[in-house]
Amino acid sequence: MGDRPSYDRKLLQILRDAAGVFAEKGYHRASIRDISAATDVSLSGLYYYFSSKEELLFLVQNHCFGTLLARLEEDLGQTTDPAARLRIVVRNHLHFFLDNMEEMKVLSHEADVLTGKYRETIQRRKRSYADTVHGILSELRPADGPDLRTATFALFGMMNWIYTWYNPDRDLRAEEMEEELLHLFLNGFLAPRNRRSDGEGGDSAPMEHSSIWRSG
């Protein structure tokens, strides 16, 4: 960023307001005039801060994702233990998500409207983020454990779906949600797999589970 504190502050405020409009109406249905109304900046005045509507969406997404990743990398530096690192990922993601739900909804929901260089930049960061989680899970994975790609995106699915149902008055706070989702995911991920029921070995598989573990 350049050395113009007033400019930077106002741009960030525009990004926040624009995220609110995008989150409520969706990118395409939201007009620059809506954003002009939300920001109290004239229609043409906005174009001093971005050069196109698409760039505005990019700035919203990139700034949001950037601070999410910056906080994550800072916290991940504290430990190399994969279980602790997974907790850090979930904690960071959920806290940031619930604290910046509008921005994160835009980041999640308007994922494939960007084109060209904008799209590439965001997708590269997302892939890097997913790779980080994938790497942590590959260290945690028990022998014959779950499919890593499926598990990684299942975890992201749990977390990113939140914007469709979360109600701050009704639902858990970030710390509790962190416990719930980490408990759900980690126990499922680490649980031994009682594979093919044809093997009668049945060492650790409780018989009562049969209706679940067998297909039919």
Residues lying near DNA in the complex (CB under 7 A) are found at: 4, 6-7, 10, 30-34, 40-45, 47-49, 51-54
Binding of a second copy by 161 (CB under 8 A): yes
Nearest Cα residue to 176 out of 23, 102, 168, 17? 168
Measured in Å, how far apart are the chain's first and last C-alpha atoms? 59
**Smallest distance from a second copy to CB 45, Å:** 25
Nearest Cα residue to 18 out of 126, 47, 69, 121? 47
Binding of a second copy by 32 (CB under 8 A): no
Query: CA 64 to CA 131: how far, in whole Å?
Result: 19
**Smallest distance from DNA to CB 39, Å:** 9
Binding of a second copy by 76 (CB under 8 A): no
- Selection from a second copy, DNA, none that 9 binds (CB < 5 to 8 A by kind) is none
Q: x/- string (CB under 8 A) for a second copy, residues 183-202?
A: xxxxxxxxxxx---xxxx--
Of 48 and 213, the one with the shorter C-beta distance to DNA is: 48
**Smallest distance from a second copy to CB 163, Å:** 10
Pick from 35, 98, 107, 181: which binds a second copy (CB under 8 A)?
181
Q: At what angle do helices 5-25 and 101-109 cross, to 10 degrees?
A: 60
Pick from 28, 33, 124, 173: which binds a second copy (CB under 8 A)?
28
Nearest Cα residue to 158 out of 133, 142, 180? 180
Pick from 83, 121, 141, 174: which binds a second copy (CB under 8 A)?
83
State both tokens at 4: 């113009």
Binding of a second copy by 71 (CB under 8 A): no
Binding of a second copy by 74 (CB under 8 A): no
Q: Where are the alpha helices (DSSP H) in the chain?
A: 5-25, 32-39, 53-76, 82-99, 101-109, 116-140, 148-160, 174-190, 210-213
User: What is the residue type of 119?
Assistant: R
* CA angle at 95 for the pair 29 and 65, rounded to the nearest 5°: 50
CA distances from 136 to 73, 86, 156 (A): 13, 7, 14
The window from 14-22, 50-58, 68-76, 84-92 that contacts a second copy (CB under 8 A) reads: 84-92
Residues in the site for a second copy, rule: CB under 8 A? 26, 28-29, 81, 83-84, 86-87, 109, 111, 113, 146-147, 149-151, 153-154, 156-162, 164-165, 170-172, 175-193, 197-200, 204-216
